[in-house]
A and B are shown apart, each in its own frame.
Chain A
């Protein structure tokens, strides 16, 4: 086991609908926004060029789609555990997160169910998540369908 790495696993059987996910706060600096193109190779200028961002009516550079995706997935799998499989994830970017903002991630379990329409039974959880900024403004609502291991022979992977 590597220190600091998340291993704790949640099982589908133990999930309760309506359960709240722990809140996650993440301060986003210029450096974190610049890490967007560095790590995703997305060179859209809104994410690294302040002049371009201002020409779009934005105050400064802002995080890219993939950063939102990664933060949402992190919320889901920090709660669900490293054995979770993200089967579906939908986000809406209603407001940008700018260099200087804090990403505030929260969520709840909307539904717990099984799906046997495919080659194997999947044990699924639907999560409703939000990414807000430090002013409580909603930036990114998200829905994630997570496949979790169940206490039995079937499981994702």
Chain B
């Protein structure tokens, strides 16, 4: 059974191609779902987070002015649906569109600043920027490059809710050390 290419096939290219892309900014992309209570509950159950903000509506109202989402769900609100009636492939994240020699990847670090709570009912949008691609490095996974992107998240009224710096390691699956 083959794998499906929905957004996870990375383009192969040279380091120079990747360096030329540094500074690229995506157009604003909108989430396809609103921030909602059942997904918040489901996520909190998965990480076993008993924070009253996510389980007690009265507490959330008193403390935050309404139901709020765990900050850890930030990226989830922008993940495209696997399928929509209009068809077409979901747009991959910018970090997965950088041409480099490596055929696979693993995420390395995620540094997020939150400026305002994300609330039930919000529709978020994101703009991504490619800020750096490192030279070739060797790690225990193999030879690869570190790809740094900064994503800026806003609410439907334009308010800045979060900014996150993500470092992803793009490497060759066949180059793993013994």
* A–B: direct contact at CB < 8 Å: yes
Chain B residues near A5: list those with CB within 8 A: 85-86
Chain B residues near A100: list those with CB within 8 A: 1
Partner of B86, one of A3, A29, A30, A35: A3
B111 in the interface (beta carbon within 8 A):
no
**Interface residue count on the A side (C-beta < 8 Å):** 12
A6 to B84, CA, bound (A): 11
A28 to B83, CA, bound (A): 14
A81 to B132, CA, bound (A): 50
Partner of B1, one of A3, A6, A29, A35: A29
Contact with A along B74-114 (1 / 0, CB 8 A): 00000000101111000000000000000000000000000
Residue of A nearest to B84 (CB): A4
Contact A2 B1 (CB under 8 A): no
A99 in the interface (beta carbon within 8 A):
yes
Chain B residues near A2: list those with CB within 8 A: 85-86
In the complex, chain A residues 16-73 whose Cβ is within 8 Å of any chain B Cβ: 29-31, 35, 41
Residue of A nearest to B85 (CB): A4
Contact A29 B85 (CB under 8 A): no
Chain A residues near B86: list those with CB within 8 A: 2-5
Closest beta carbon of chain A to B2's beta carbon, Å: 8
Dominant SS among interface residues on chain A: loop
Contact B85 A30 (CB under 8 A): no
B4 in the interface (beta carbon within 8 A):
yes
Contact A4 B4 (CB under 8 A): no
B63 in the interface (beta carbon within 8 A):
no
Residue of A nearest to B41 (CB): A41
Chain B residues near A4: list those with CB within 8 A: 84-87
A6 to B85, CA, bound (A): 8
A100 to B82, CA, bound (A): 18
Residue of A nearest to B6 (CB): A31
Chain B residues near A3: list those with CB within 8 A: 85-86
Given contacts A4-B87, A41-B42, contact A99 B1 (CB under 8 A): yes
The interface of chain A, by Cβ under 8 A from chain B, is 2-6, 29-31, 35, 41, 99-100
The interface of chain B, by Cβ under 8 A from chain A, is 1, 4, 42, 82, 84-87
| A–B pairs, 20, beta carbons within 8 Å | A2-B85, A2-B86, A3-B85, A3-B86, A4-B84, A4-B85, A4-B86, A4-B87, A5-B85, A5-B86, A6-B85, A29-B1, A29-B4, A30-B1, A31-B4, A31-B82, A35-B82, A41-B42, A99-B1, A100-B1
